[in-house]
Amino acid sequence: MNCGARTRAGNPCQKPPLQGKARCRLHGGLSLVGKDHPNYKHGHCTLEYRKQTADGNAYVKYLEYLLIQLGMIEPKRRKRNTMF
Ligand SMILES: [Zn+2]
């Protein structure tokens, strides 16, 4: 395994990444990520959180769809029907 970042010459970097990181010292391996980063505030913009909420929203939409099919609630009029 090597760093693999694109160098200025256009080739993948051949250096080994830092321990526990994906990139070498020169290509972001020294950067602090997530909670360790000084600008980290609440994590609501992290990829992890976005993935979780996206799944949650899909689940809510599915439940709504089921309730509409069962006639328990009225369908909402939406400008754009995103899923169902
Ligand atoms: Zn590198």
pLDDT tens, position by position, 42-80: 988 888 888 888 888 888 889 999 999 998 888 877 666
**Cα separation, 19 vs 28, whole angstroms:** 13
Q: Provide the whole-model pTM.
A: 0.51
Q: Where are the beta strands (DSSP E) in 1-84?
A: none
Q: Are residues 18 and 39 in the same domain?
A: no
Q: How far is the CA of 2 from the centre of ligand 1 (A)?
A: 8
Q: Give the domain range for residue 16.
A: 1-31
Q: How far is the CA of 45 from the centre of ligand 1 (A)?
A: 26
> How many domains are contained in the chain?
2
Q: Are residues 27 and 66 in the same domain?
A: no
For Cα atoms 68, 69, 75, give the angle at the middle one, nearest 5 degrees: 25
Q: How far is the CA of 60 from the centre of ligand 1 (A)?
A: 42
Are 5 and 28 contacting, i.e. CB atoms less than 8 angstroms apart?
yes
Q: How far is the CA of 6 from the centre of ligand 1 (A)?
A: 8
Q: How far is the CA of 19 from the centre of ligand 1 (A)?
A: 13
Q: Are residues 38 and 56 in the same domain?
A: yes
Q: Are residues 41 and 6 in the same domain?
A: no
Q: What pLDDT, in 10s, does the model give residues 14-24? A: 999 999 999 99
